[in-house]
Amino acid sequence: MSLVNLAHVCSHLNNATKARLGLTSIPNSNLHLKLCQALQNSGYISSVVRGGPTPPPAHPILGFPTASDEVEGVEAITRDNVASRRLWLGLKYWRNEAVLGKVSMISKPKRRVNLNVEDLRLIVRGYEGKHVAGLRSPGESLYLSTDRGILEARECVEKKIGGLVLCRVA
């Protein structure tokens, strides 16, 4: 789990939303894929597709590439092409503002922050817990890497599990 690469992804997403990109790509890794799927579940991004160095073709109706495209399909990973795979993310905008706000790392490559359920309960209710600021604004989320995959902080509280804090989305 390389937090260095994850930090690069976070700042790349910030740059992409500021530049008003509709589709952007990040290096392919299982961590990045799981995090992007969690973001998609929360509605921050519209699509996550694993593709090559060029953007995958857009869905004829939706207008952006989707993993469930029956016509084009998704190229299978082989030993030959795995190194050139990238994750293509569809970014969302609403009322002239990016839906994905600022993405910032909480854990750093040199200092990983683990939170237990008690701390998470505080954070979800808007209080500070273990030097992690509470979720006090509408639409703020915190993503954690747990033994049940990458989950949002509120889901973690629901399932009573803690984990390694990855990033905060405002």
Partner 1 sequence: MSLARPAKCLLCSFSRAAAPGTRVARRQFHSTPAILSNRKSKFPNIKAPSTSTNPENYKSYTKEEKEALAKEYSEAQIKAIEAGEASIDPKDMAEQFRPRDDPLKFKYLDDFSVVEPGIDHHVRAPESNTDYNFKLRKDDDFVEDFGRFFAEMPDNATGLDYMRFANSLRLTHGKEENELNPNSSMVPDLFGPGETVDEPRVEEQTTASERGEKERSVAAEELTDALKSLLLATGYTASQINEFRIKTLVMHSVVNQTRLGKVRRAYRLSIAGNGNGLLGIGEAKSEEPTDAKIQSQYRAIRNMQPIPRYENRTIFGDVKAKVGAVELELMHRPPGFGLRAQSLIYEMCRAAGIHDISARVNRSRNKMNAVKAAYDALMSQRDPEEVARARNRKMVDVRKVYYAGRV
Interface contacts to partner 1, rule CB under 8 A: 42-44, 92, 94-95, 97, 99, 136-140
For 26, which DSSP code? E
Smaller CB separation from partner 1, 2 or 104: 104
Smaller CB separation from partner 1, 3 or 143: 143
* CB proximity list for 16: less than 8 A, separation 6 or greater: 24, 91
Q: Least Å distance between CB 167 and partner 1?
A: 17
In this structure, what token pair is assigned to residue 164?
Answer: 């390694």
Smaller CB separation from partner 1, 30 or 137: 137
* CB proximity list for 66: less than 8 A, separation 6 or greater: 47, 49, 59
Angle, helix 30-42 to helix 3-18, in steps of 10 degrees: 40
Q: Least Å distance between CB 112 and partner 1?
A: 26
Q: Least Å distance between CB 135 and partner 1?
A: 9
Smaller CB separation from partner 1, 92 or 168: 92
Q: Phi and psi of 164, rounded to 5°?
A: -85, 125
* CB proximity list for 116: less than 8 A, separation 6 or greater: 162
Q: Least Å distance between CB 33 and partner 1?
A: 20
